[in-house]
């Protein structure tokens, strides 16, 4: 039996222009489902409409350069002369090396000295009381500011994404996110940061009087560094709150879930949809990639692209049966969302020819 999803016909696939999407488009889902392909195709179509578009990859395993067949640096760079298309592949390790939160090392060190202790973040790295004695909360050995903390890559990506928010060079930003688990940790970071900032400011108020009486304990430079560290945290907290408000605004953000027509992928996508709902992040589109269906059927017009032969290929027919069950399940789960199909191509999607077809499927 054939379970059909609502797929709009596409009038033109040569070079789709314009994107009916929000200012920020994020593609997320399990690793290997085709997020980079979708992000690249959307960015190309957007830029062809003379919309200055930045496509960013935050996945440590970058493939955006391969997909667009051009070298992409770690900072936004125009990669097409004829259209305003910009791209960047964020290098999380390099960003963490610069300080995952973008704060000056001297400022962090001064802040730690003011809070007490000998380590890079002083006594803040071993807060007692509410944090629990011996618990490393802020230090470099796994604390919230440390490069080895869980989610350090996401902290670096978040810091750099903050730089692109409201950047007047770009009218649209398309983000190829890391796999599902990493993405959710990135979305949790604002809450973590808010808690951290609050704790540091609370501790400063609690101990400022006592520390003020310990004359000669700190030099002037250390006090200045500590004050700068606190000011940096205040500013970072405000910026993160601004980004969070954008991510939750359906008029500005569209998080698109990408999946493949397999039961496990459907379950993963359902879980991601639920978690995003908990964070208030809007999801309007679900993309089903690598569907073993004739491309002409998916596009709604005859195209010269080879597709599976269900009549003569028993393997194709069997896989199509499996996929149809997953498609039926996704149809049920994602009611109320715009569900788009992308066919499984005989060749790898690299370069503008097939990216144009993908863009037409997403249009």
Instruction: Please report whether residue 2 resides in a domain.
Output: yes
Domain enclosing residue 181, as ranges: 1-100+150-201+246-363
Instruction: Please report whether residue 80 resides in a domain.
Output: yes
Instruction: Please report whether residue 129 resides in a domain.
Output: no
b/e sequence 5-41, b meaning 16+ C-beta within 10 Å: bebeebeebeebbebebbbbbbbbbbeebbbbbbbbb
Instruction: Report pLDDT digits (tens) over 246-288.
Output: 888 999 989 999 999 999 999 999 999 998 888 888 898 999 9
In the block, tokens 């459907």 appear at 266
Q: Report how many domains make up the chain.
A: 1
Q: Which residue has the higher pLDDT, 165 or 130?
A: 165
Q: Is 136's pLDDT higher than 80?
A: no
Q: Is 334's pLDDT higher than 80?
A: yes
Instruction: Please report whether residue 293 resides in a domain.
Output: yes
Instruction: Please report whether residue 190 resides in a domain.
Output: yes
For the entire predicted model, the pTM comes to 0.76
Instruction: Please report whether residue 275 resides in a domain.
Output: yes
The CATH number of the domain holding residue 39 is 3.40.50.300
pLDDT band at 174 (very low <50, low <70, confident <90, very high): very high
| Rounded-to-integer distance, Cα 56 and Cα 65, Å | 11
Within 10 Å of residue 209's Cβ, how many Cβ atoms?
Answer: 8
Instruction: Report pLDDT digits (tens) over 62-91.
Output: 789 999 999 999 889 999 999 999 999 887
pLDDT band at 127 (very low <50, low <70, confident <90, very high): very low
b/e sequence 156-180, b meaning 16+ C-beta within 10 Å: bbbbbbbebbeeeebbbbbbbbbbb
Q: Is 321's pLDDT higher than 90?
A: yes
């Amino acid at each position: 039996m054939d379970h059909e999803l609502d797929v709009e016909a596409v009038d033109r696939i040569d070079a789709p222009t314009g994107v009916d999407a929000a200012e920020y488009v994020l593609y997320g889902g399990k690793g290997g489902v085709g997020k980079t392909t979708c992000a690249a195709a959307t960015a190309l179509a957007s830029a062809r409409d003379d919309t200055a578009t930045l496509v960013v990859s935050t996945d440590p395993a970058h493939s955006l350069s391969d997909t667009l067949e051009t070298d992409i640096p770690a900072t936004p760079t125009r990669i097409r002369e004829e259209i305003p298309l910009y791209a960047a592949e964020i290098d999380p390790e390099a960003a963490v090396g610069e300080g995952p939160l973008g704060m000056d090392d001297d400022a962090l060190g001064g802040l730690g000295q003011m809070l007490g202790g000998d380590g890079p973040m002083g006594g803040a790295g071993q807060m007692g009381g509410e944090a629990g004695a011996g618990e490393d909360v802020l230090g470099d050995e796994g604390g919230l500011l440390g490069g080895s903390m869980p989610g350090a890559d996401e902290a670096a990506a978040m810091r750099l994404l903050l730089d692109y928010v409201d950047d007047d060079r770009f009218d649209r930003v398309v983000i190829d996110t890391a796999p599902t688990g990493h993405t959710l940790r990135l979305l949790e970071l604002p809450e973590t940061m808010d808690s951290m900032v609050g704790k540091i400011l609370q501790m400063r108020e609690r101990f400022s009087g006592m520390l003020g009486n310990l004359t000669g304990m700190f030099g002037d430079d250390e006090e200045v560094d500590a004050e700068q560290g606190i000011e940096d945290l205040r500013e970072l907290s405000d910026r993160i709150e601004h980004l969070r408000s954008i991510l939750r605004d359906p008029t500005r953000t569209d998080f698109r879930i990408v999946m493949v027509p397999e039961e496990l992928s459907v379950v993963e996508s359902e879980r991601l949809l639920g978690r995003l709902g908990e964070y208030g992040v809007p999801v309007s589109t679900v993309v089903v990639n690598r569907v073993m269906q004739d491309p002409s059927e998916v596009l709604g017009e005859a195209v010269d692209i080879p597709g599976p032969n269900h009549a003569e290929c028993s393997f194709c027919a069997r896989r199509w049966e499996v996929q149809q069950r997953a498609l039926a399940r996704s149809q049920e789960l994602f009611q109320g969302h715009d569900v788009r199909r992308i066919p499984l191509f005989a060749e790898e999607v690299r370069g503008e020819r097939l990216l144009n077809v993908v863009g037409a499927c997403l249009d």
